[in-house]
Every structure is written in structure tokens, then in C-alpha cells.
Amino acid sequence: MNVLSNERICYFNGEYIPESQALVPFRDRSFLFGDGAFDMTRTFAHKIFRLEEHIRRFYRSMKALRLDPGLSPQEMIDITNTVLEKNLHLLSDNDDYWVGQRVSRGVMKVDGDNWNNYGPNVIIECLPMPLEDRAHYYRDGVPVVVPSVRRTAPDSVPPRAKAHNYLNLVLADLEVKAQNPNGWAILLDCNGNLSEGLGSNLFLVRDGEVLTPQERYVLPGVSRQTVMELAGELGIPARECDIDLFDGYNADEAFITSTSLCICPVSSINGDSIGEGVVIGPITQKLIDSYVAMVGCDFVQQHLDRLNGSP
């Protein structure tokens, strides 16, 4: 196949093809209903971070949603590595990729259709990290805003499943962005406690202890779990518990974790400054330093280097 060298390659239903050729029918159930699952990790210095853990979480999501990709976890891992290899030549030394897997339930059957594939649609992709767009959060901190939209209750749609239907989180993000284009939405759960945001988990630091919402009400992020492990190695107490806005306003430090940002400090909640007003508090800094050492990539500096459009 003659493939343009400047177009990324993805895996689509058994083939490695240019992204522009990976076309999903409009009656695909994920397009119609959000009926699908995905997972996403990133590279550090062009090497995928904790791929096996992400794939395990992906298969847990699919089991909860009764999705069958027709691939074993090891096949999913092997294909993901191949997709990355086919796209590395497009990255500069200081860039990295998001790397993701997506599975929809497939095309909805309609009488009279001549579509011959009603199985799952499987896509494995990579796309450049938004380093420049998010660099200012490491300089200024993340201004968290709590929207009126509540996180979907676990007895409705389990937040622990990373499903394609993100409308709940998208609506919250749109509400916050309308007030503050740089604002980061963190939703309250059905009980009025702080939960999570679009692709991000929240942590508070109070009296030397690191606190994060209970897993039942949030997606258990791999970066979230990494921070819990690093805290244990550093001798920093860390636990899951209910935390509300009172706890947020009185936190000594706060930060979010996500695939792309890893650990990023929170500067304020609903306009109230966190702690002493420093961008990165001492415990957050310890966790960042430990995370950087573990992955062998200074992701904070990687972002800061992009301020003002620097390469």
C-alpha cells in the first residue's frame, strides 16, 4: 500500500490504514448512542506508559458494558505497539502521543440493509499530545470550577467504565468554559461530594494527607493509581474518601491527575485560592518529582517549553 508519510496510521478492523480511510458507518451504535468503550494512555519519550494496566482497565470497561472486541488483551497490546511504531517517524524528539483503543458495539441492524459486517468496530490510534494548549496550567495552576451538572450516578451508568458516552462530562465542561475559558470542570457526584472532571481525577492535600474521591463514583485513572503508589513509596498518607466543597475550600494543596497532564496543581476552586497561593505545594511537588523520576521524562518542563509557542 502506498501510504503518505505525513499521515498517521491507525488499526481499523484488522487492517493498518491511513486515518483518513478509517470510516465508521453512520448507523454504528457508538455514533447513534455512545454505545462503546475506549481507553487512552500516553508516551513518555516515545515509550508507552503502563499499557498493560490501561488494557486491563479497558477490558474491565468492556465487560461491564457487555462488549466483545474479538481480540485478546495480548493482541490488543501487540497491535497498539505496532500502531505506535508506524507513527513514531512523525514525532519530533520533544513530542509525545496519546495512544488509544476504541471499540463500538457495531452497526445497528435495519431491515433491507446490505451491510455485511455487524460485528464490533475496533480502532487503535495515536494522536499528538496537546502540550502547547495546556502548558499554562503548569505555570498558573488549574482553576477548578464546579458546574451545576452532577456526575452520573453509579446506579445509572457506572463511572468506572470508560464509555464513549461522555455527554455528562462534556455538558459540565461547556458550562464551565462559558464562564472561564481556562476553567476546569470538576463535578459533584449524586451525593454532593466532589468527583471528577473530563478525563481527570481530583486530589486534595490536608494536614499532610492526600485524599481522593472514592472509586465507586469516578473512573479509576491509571495516573490516579500511580499517584497513590508513589505516595506510599514516599511515606505520604493517601486514601479514598468522600470530599466535599468544604474540604476543597480548606485544602492545603490540590491537584488533578490525567493521562496527559500526569499531575498538575490546582490554583483555585470556584475562585477561592488554594492553600498559601503558591502554584505547586510541597507535597504536590514531591509527587511530581517522583513521577518524573519514574517515567524518565520531565512532563512539567515538556509543557512549559511550549509556552509562547516554543518548540
Digit-coded pLDDT (tens) for 187-219: 999 999 999 999 999 999 999 999 999 999 999
Residues 195 and 290 placed together within one structural domain of the fold = yes
Residues whose CB falls within 8 Å of the CB of residue 209, separated by 6 or more in sequence, listed in order: 236, 237, 238, 239
pLDDT at 111: 80
pTM for the model: 0.93
CATH number for the domain harbouring residue 29:
3.30.470.10
Domain final position from 98, 129, 160: 129
CB count in 10 Å sphere of residue 147? 21
233-270 in b/e form (b: 16+ CB < 10 A) is eeebebebeebebebbeebbbbbbbbbbbbbbbbbbbe
Task: Specify the residue for cell string 509562547.
Answer: 308
Residues 303 and 290 placed together within one structural domain of the fold = yes
Dihedral sign for Cα 130, 131, 136, 140, please.
positive
Based on the number of CB atoms within 10 Å of its own CB, is 114 exposed (0-12), middle (13-18) or buried (19 or more)?
exposed
pLDDT band at 148 (very low <50, low <70, confident <90, very high): very high
Any domain includes 2: no
pLDDT at 275: 85
Q: Could you give the CA distance from residue 254 to residue 269 in angstroms, rounded to a whole number?
A: 9
Secondary element (H or E) of residue 299 = helix 299-304
- Greatest alpha-carbon span in the chain: 66
Which has the closest alpha carbon to 197: 175, 226, 230, 229? 175
Domain final position from 129, 163, 187: 129
pLDDT band at 2 (very low <50, low <70, confident <90, very high): very low
Residues 204 and 236 placed together within one structural domain of the fold = yes
Give the domain extent around 19. 9-129
Residues 115 and 147 placed together within one structural domain of the fold = no
Residues 23 and 101 placed together within one structural domain of the fold = yes
Residues 253 and 176 placed together within one structural domain of the fold = yes
pLDDT at 112: 76
Domain final position from 60, 95, 129: 129
pLDDT digits (tens, 9 = 90+) for 227-278: 999 999 999 999 999 999 999 999 999 999 999 999 999 999 999 999 887 7
Any domain includes 246: yes
Residue 124 in grid coordinates: 487503535
Residues 190 and 224 placed together within one structural domain of the fold = yes
Task: Give the bridge partners for 123, in sequence order.
Answer: 12, 102
For residues 60-84, average pLDDT: 97
Residues whose CB falls within 8 Å of the CB of residue 60, separated by 6 or more in sequence, listed in order: 160, 161
Residues 286 and 188 placed together within one structural domain of the fold = yes
Mode of pairing for the β-strands spanning 238-240 and 209-212? parallel
Taking CA atoms, 103 is separated from 35, 74, 147, 227, 229, in Å, by 9, 16, 30, 28, 29
| DSSP 8-class letter at 149 | P
Which has the closest alpha carbon to 305: 188, 135, 183, 173? 135
Number of folded domains that form the chain: 2
Please give the full DSSP string across 281-294, using - where no structure is assigned. Answer: -HHHHHHHHHHHHH
* Displacement of CA 39 from its chain's centroid (Å): 8
Residues 167 and 239 placed together within one structural domain of the fold = yes
